[in-house]
Structures are given as C-alpha cells and as structure tokens.
C-alpha cells in the first residue's frame, strides 16, 4: 500500500444554510479529494482539487483557516482544528503544489512568465514566507518557555 501525502479531517464551508461541515480530506499525488467521512472513501469523493491549478491563501484574521482558490472557477474555504494543524496542511499542500509546479516548469522552460504567472508565484512566495515566519515564532516561543522553565537561576548558582 502506498503512502499518502496527507489525510485528515478539516471543516469545509458549504453554504450559508449549512455553514462549516466536517469533511475528510486526502492529499495524494497532487490531488486533494474530500469525502463526507473517512468511512465514505470507498464510496468515492464528493470533489477534488488539482493542487497545480489552485492558489493557497492563508486567511489573515483566522489562524485556523486557509482558502484554495482556482482562478476564475471556484474557492474552497477550509478550517483546521487549530493553527498547528493548519500549518501541517499548508506545508503538505504547498509541497504538493511546488513539486507539481517544478515538473510543469521543466516542460515549459522556454516560455516567458506572464503577469498572472508571476502573480501566482508571488502569492506562493508569500504563503511560504508566512509559514516560515510562523515556524520561527513557534521555535522562539518554545526556546523562551524552555529557558524560563528549566534554566537554573544565575544568582543562586553564583552563591553555591
């Protein structure tokens, strides 16, 4: 059995009547598919998103939300249980998109990028910058907490 890129539960915005609904997502070879639940995987997906054609947008006000935008077609609004889960999904989705993007770039090496392509790349760069800054902040917080909780008091140490 082959290893999937990532799978798990996320909330998906369905409509104003139903709001956020739990869905089970599977990221496999650059395709993000979703189901009503993990038990429904054998019944077929409710939908799927090819990561190569979508933009990943981090929601500025909601630390658990991310939006997958297919230009001129559709937008999927997704929410993780917490910021750490969103971070894991963003890394997996961004990695899947980057891997697919690299192979697509190799095929069209001689084509000059247009404004839309440059805009998409800038959006991806901002996403990865946000991800990196989030990880740096988490590491700083962990180090600060660790130093405060486990470091010996220097004054006490000096009197020994």
**What share of residues in the chain are helix, strand, coil (percent, to 5)?**
50, 30, 25
pLDDT for 104 equals 45
Give residue 135's pLDDT band: very low, low, confident or very high (50, 70, 90).
Answer: confident
If one compares 73 and 25, the residue with the highest pLDDT of the two is: 25
The pLDDT mean for the chain works out to: 80
Range 89-115 average pLDDT = 66
* Domains located in the chain, CATH noted: 6-148 (2.30.29.30)
| Residue 103 predicted with pLDDT over 50 | no
| Residue 137 predicted with pLDDT over 80 | no
If one compares 100 and 54, the residue with the highest pLDDT of the two is: 54
If one compares 156 and 23, the residue with the highest pLDDT of the two is: 23
Give residue 1's pLDDT band: very low, low, confident or very high (50, 70, 90).
Answer: very low
Helices (H), the chain: 83-107, 115-150, 154-159
To the question of pTM greater than 0.85 for the whole model, the response is no
Beta carbons of 24 and 9 less than 8 angstroms apart: yes
Give residue 102's pLDDT band: very low, low, confident or very high (50, 70, 90).
Answer: very low
């Amino acid at each position: 059995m082959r290893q999937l890129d990532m799978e798990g539960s996320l909330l998906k915005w369905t409509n104003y009547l139903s709001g956020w609904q739990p869905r089970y997502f599977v990221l496999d070879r650059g395709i993000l598919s979703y189901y009503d639940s993990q038990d429904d995987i054998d019944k077929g997906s409710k939908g799927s998103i090819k990561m190569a054609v979508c933009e990943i947008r981090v929601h500025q006000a909601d630390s658990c939300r991310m939006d997958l935008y297919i230009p001129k077609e559709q937008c999927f609004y997704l929410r993780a249980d917490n910021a750490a889960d969103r971070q894991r999904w963003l890394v997996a989705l961004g990695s899947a998109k980057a891997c697919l993007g690299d192979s697509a770039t190799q095929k069209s090496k001689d084509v000059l990028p247009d404004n839309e392509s440059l805009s998409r790349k800038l959006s991806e760069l901002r996403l990865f910058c946000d991800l990196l800054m989030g990880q740096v902040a988490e590491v700083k917080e962990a180090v600060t907490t660790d130093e405060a909780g486990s470091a010996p008091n220097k004054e006490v140490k000096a009197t020994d």
